[in-house]
Structure formats: C-alpha cells, structure tokens
C-alpha cells in the first residue's frame, strides 16, 4: 500500500503545477489558415486544406494522445519502469454528419524497456483515463476510447 500512496502523492504534486485557467491566441493568416500561439510562444498552424498546417481535429486527436502519453510515462516512471521506447498510434472514427465529433478513438501504445509489468501498464492507462487526462475528460462522454498496448523487444525497438 505504501507504493500506491507514494504514487498518488507524486501525481498530486505533478498535477498541482497545472494552472486552472488557460489562454491562447488564434490569428487568421490567409485563406483558411490560422496560427495558434500559446503564452509561451509555441505556434501551431491550422489549415482547412492541409497545405500549411494540420486540421483542428488532427491536433485534437494528437492532444488526446499527448495528454495520455505524458500521464502514462510519468506514472510508469514513478512505478520505477525503465522505458526505452514509447509511441502511440492513433485512429479515430468521426460522426458522418455535422457536427463531425469523434465517435471512437483507438490508441495502440508501443512500449519497450526493462521490467515492464502489464498490470502496472494497465494501471497507468486507467489512472490517466479515469483521473488525470484533461483532454480525454474534456471530450464527449459518449466517446468510445479503446486503449491497447504492445510490449516490444527493447533490442528491436532501438534499431
């Protein structure tokens, strides 16, 4: 039980650093191209024609994956997992009629490293999904999210 308590405390400290309000700026560049800028100065281009940037829905899908990846890797490191590779492949199904929201998302996590414990990986995924991933918990409650994982050979993952 002590390890579980330590994990909860570490995650509480990590999430306590998150500011409850956010700001961003979106500026029309040309045609249907917009540049989003964070307060830190990072930029992301959105383009309806996908010539100069990504579609907003692509960035939302990547944000979901990014949020869960940060949570899962952070949790696994706190569980003393030695991760040498972490990648998520994402696929989504959207509603065919407007609004074309995400109906289903499938994530396949690829992990490699030493001492990877499937039970701990499943626990990290569950914690991210149920408690920590702000992006997932900001999406529609009827979103069907399926998360699978594959533990790969550390030697073949590094090549």
Q: Going by C-beta distance under 8 Å and a sequence separation of 6 or more, which residues neighbour residue 70? A: none
pTM of the entire predicted model: 0.88
Written as six digits, the tokens of 136 are: 């997932």
- Angle, CA of 85, 119 and 134, to the nearest 5°: 70
The confidence score (pLDDT) of residue 6 equals 74
Nearest-5° angle of CA 69, CA 128, CA 4? 115
Confidence tier at 67 by pLDDT (50, 70, 90)? very high
pLDDT at 33: 97
pLDDT band at residue 17 using 50, 70 and 90 as cut-offs? confident
SS3 state of residue 37: strand
Q: Tell me the helix, strand and coil percentages in the chain, rounded to 5.
A: 40, 35, 30
> Which domains, and CATH codes, for the chain?
1-54 (no CATH), 55-159 (3.30.300.20)
Name the band, by pLDDT with cuts 50, 70 and 90, for residue 147.
very high
Residue 66, sorted as left (phi over 0), alpha (psi -120 to 50) or beta, turns out to be alpha
């Amino acid at each position: 039980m002590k390890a579980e308590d330590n994990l909860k405390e570490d995650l509480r400290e990590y999430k306590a650093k998150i500011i409850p309000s956010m700001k961003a700026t979106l500026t029309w560049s040309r045609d249907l191209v917009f540049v989003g800028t964070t307060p830190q100065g990072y930029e992301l281009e959105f383009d309806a024609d996908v010539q100069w940037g990504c579609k907003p829905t692509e960035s939302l899908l990547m944000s979901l994956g990014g949020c869960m990846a940060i949570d899962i890797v952070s949790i696994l490191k706190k569980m003393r997992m030695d991760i040498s590779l972490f990648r998520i492949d994402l696929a989504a199904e959207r509603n065919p009629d407007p609004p074309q929201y995400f109906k289903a998302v499938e994530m396949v996590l690829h992990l490699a490293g030493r001492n990877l414990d499937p039970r701990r990986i499943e626990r990290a995924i569950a914690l991210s999904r149920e408690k920590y991933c702000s992006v997932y918990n900001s999406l529609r409650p009827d979103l069907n999210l399926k998360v699978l994982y594959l533990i790969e050979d550390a030697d073949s993952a590094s090549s």
